[in-house]
A and B are shown apart, each in its own frame.
Chain A
Amino acid sequence: MLIRALAISVGIAVLAGCAAPTRYIDPAADDGPVAMTMDYRDFEKAATDAVEDMLSSGAVNNPDGSRYIMVVSRITNDTMQRIDTDQLTKKIRVSLLRSGKVVTTTAVGLNGAEDEMNMKARELRDSEEFDQSAVQRKGTLQAPDLSLSGKILQRNHKVGKEQQVEYYIQLSLTELASGLAIWEGETPIIKRGSDKSVTW
């Protein structure tokens, strides 16, 4: 009992001394410690690799000078971590939009429209309450030219006394007219660390 009491009080003393204050992290200057899980830095690296490669390969460049319309399809999370794959796709969408080459549609998606207002706004058609001249007419929504899909893979191994975790961020850009993947990319993210515990 004495030992337990001692242990607890030592524990409390240690905890009290170490409580870290909450602070902001500037993503542009974050040299903070790396976790075995995927964090924003990994998504940023994968998105940067993908976008630079898409732009420089000319794959997202419409020869007629207009912007391509892209839809985001399924990005399968095949890791051991609960990831919101939008963390990755949003960065890519934003950068492609900024590049002036690609715009993303929110009117179609695998599980319905990303923005349901696309259809809701059209339900106003024939409503006497609304000024019909401003209601969207039929046949104005634009169909996508390109589809972005992909997979995030995770493979763990034991390397010596350490654990190695490999993430592969695989992306494909499919030209919907032909069904051909006109751009593909893979960013491996390899981390090595303690094998004491699981990686998630």
Chain B
Amino acid sequence: MLSGCSTAQHRDQLALFNSAYAAGDYDSALKAVSFSQPENKPVDSGAHLLELLHQGEMYRLTDRNSESVKAYDLAEDGMKNLDTAGLFENTVEGLMAVMVNDSERDYKALMSEAVLVNTYKALAFLAEGNNDYARVEFNRANDRTRRAVEFFRKEIAEQQAVLKSEAQSGNRKASMVQSSLGSREFQSAVHNRYGSSSTWSVFPEFIVPASTWLHGIYFLANAEGGADYERAATSLKRVAEMSPQSAALRADADLATGLASGTQNLAALPSQVWVVYENGLGPVLRESRLDVPLILLHGNQQVPAYFGIALPEYAERPAIPGSIGVSNASGQVATTERISDMGKVFRTEMKERFPGVLARAVTSAIGKAVLQKEAADQFGPIGQLFATVLTVATTQADLRSWQALPNHWQAARIDRPDDGHLTLLGHRGEVLGNLDVPQQPFTLVYVKRPTAQAPATVIIMDLQGKTNATFARFPE
């Protein structure tokens, strides 16, 4: 059917991307997500958002930082107005989504994805030695986090209030949606499938720990005074609070707190090397279909009817087992620890968004049920058949997502040895390659590896952004 088209197209494209990406063939992965663009026309960044997100990361992993920034800039532009779009939208497109289904719309980025766009852009600028712009991006990532926290705290509640008042003011469809969502049968159907959302493993508040952590170490390395150390300490403490079991995170938070309070003297601090490791393939969305009882209004009568709705559900993809490490000449090894789990980040956001997603799915289902009924009333059996076929074809959840994200992030810290030589160790303890850490106070060794079949991309960055990064693929 017509409306299924673009969904299938996207699925093919993402499958192609994934097979190349998992094998570490980033050029083919890039090709899979490229789109043709007439030279004299501006890119429709909203429509191509998903491609642009993937492109940005593929360019970055092939050491083409300025192209990466360009793609990410467009992506950021494409999601500018999507950030806070509500349950009931006045746009034509929003109305259509409710009539057709979620996957028919332009891709709507998650807030956590938006935070990561700014983070990756900051890393690309650091790799280019452009510290001024890196700072801007870290500030943006931090502001997006603040906005997300506020959004989830207030706006969701407001959206539900809107639905309620619409229903009360006699909007027929809104009242059907409202009473369906509120019915006990409906809630237990959802509960049976997903479990109670209060038991989902989530963070107490919206956060992308990897982004907040990078924000923290960046400002620690670039502090010009007490206020910057405070800022670093605030971020690092927040991340440490989210994972209380992590010694690495606590040590970073303590370092920043010490520098902020003056108990740790910067001059006495040896040059520091952080290793950050993006491991594995990030979670993807799966479709989960369930039949739920809806309450339809025929005239003044409430008629319960079962209807199929399609909801998105996150499924984990594998990571490389274990952790990596760095060792110096004297045999000291620093092993990376988990600092941020992408699945947990998404679940946290999903938990907040779930009532909205559910309401939209129900709104859409009721719209179609009404359509079927009207088709039957007006055009008889043929009309009803046509409407039913349309309904089945268009009941699909939006399963698109940014698939170049890792399963989780790990981190470690070690003093820079005087000769600058460190050995990077793989997940089985094998030597992945040799690192030459330049003489600079703060270094970030960035490692990203989607699968054990793919080589690790290693970027050695000056956290103060004074020099260009060195780029390598291990094992060579």
Q: Hey, which bits of chain A sit against chain B, CB under 8 A?
A: 1, 3-4, 6-7, 10-11, 76-82, 151, 154, 156, 158, 195-200
Contact = CB atoms under 8 A, between A and B. Distances in A.
Nearest to B227: A153
Contacts of B419: none
Interface in B133-150: 133, 135-136, 139-140, 143-144, 146-147, 150
Interface in B42-68: none
Contacts of B150: 158
A7 B96 contact: yes
B171 interface: no
A198 B83 contact: yes
A80 B139 contact: yes
A156 B146 contact: yes
B143 A198 contact: yes
Given A3-B96, A156-B143, A198-B144, A77 B132 contact: yes
Nearest to A3: B96
Given A1-B2, A198-B80, A80 B143 contact: yes
B267 interface: no
B139 A78 contact: yes
Interface of B: 2-3, 80-81, 83-84, 92-93, 95-96, 99-100, 132-133, 135-136, 139-140, 143-144, 146-147, 150, 224
Given A77-B136, A197-B81, A198-B83, A10 B92 contact: yes
11 contacts: A3-B99, A7-B92, A77-B135, A77-B136, A78-B135, A80-B139, A196-B81, A196-B84, A198-B140, A198-B143, A200-B140
B81 A79 contact: no
Main secondary structure of the interface of B (DSSP, over half): helix
B440 to A, nearest CB: 16
A106 to B, nearest CB: 20
Contacts of B224: 76, 151
A76 B222 CA distance: 11
Nearest to B139: A80
Contacts of B147: 158, 198
Contact of A197 (B2, B80, B92): B80
Contacts of A76: 135, 224
B140 A80 contact: yes
B330 to A, nearest CB: 37
Main secondary structure of the interface of A (DSSP, over half): mixed
B220 to A, nearest CB: 15
A78 B100 CA distance: 44
A154 B139 contact: yes
A10 B100 CA distance: 19
Contacts of B135: 76-78
A77 B135 CA distance: 8
A110 to B, nearest CB: 11
Contact of A7 (B3, B93, B136, B139): B93
Contacts of A199: 143
A184 to B, nearest CB: 14
A171 to B, nearest CB: 14
A6 B81 CA distance: 22
B465 to A, nearest CB: 12
A78 B231 CA distance: 12
Contacts of B93: 7
B224 to A, nearest CB: 7
A81 B96 contact: no
A195 B147 CA distance: 9
Given A3-B99, A77-B136, A197-B84, 11 more contacts: A1-B2, A7-B93, A11-B92, A80-B136, A154-B139, A156-B143, A196-B81, A196-B84, A198-B83, A198-B143, A199-B143
Nearest to B100: A3
B92 A82 contact: no
A199 B146 CA distance: 13
Contacts of B144: 198
A196 B80 CA distance: 9
A6 B2 CA distance: 16
A120 B134 CA distance: 32
A82 B118 CA distance: 13
Nearest to A155: B143
Of all A-B residue pairs in the complex, the 9 with the closest CB atoms, nearest first, are: A7-B92, A80-B139, A80-B140, A1-B2, A197-B80, A3-B96, A158-B150, A156-B143, A82-B136
A44 B472 CA distance: 46
A197 B150 CA distance: 13
A159 B99 CA distance: 35
A195 B148 CA distance: 12
B451 to A, nearest CB: 34
Contacts of B81: 196-197
Contacts of A6: 92
Contacts of A78: 135, 139
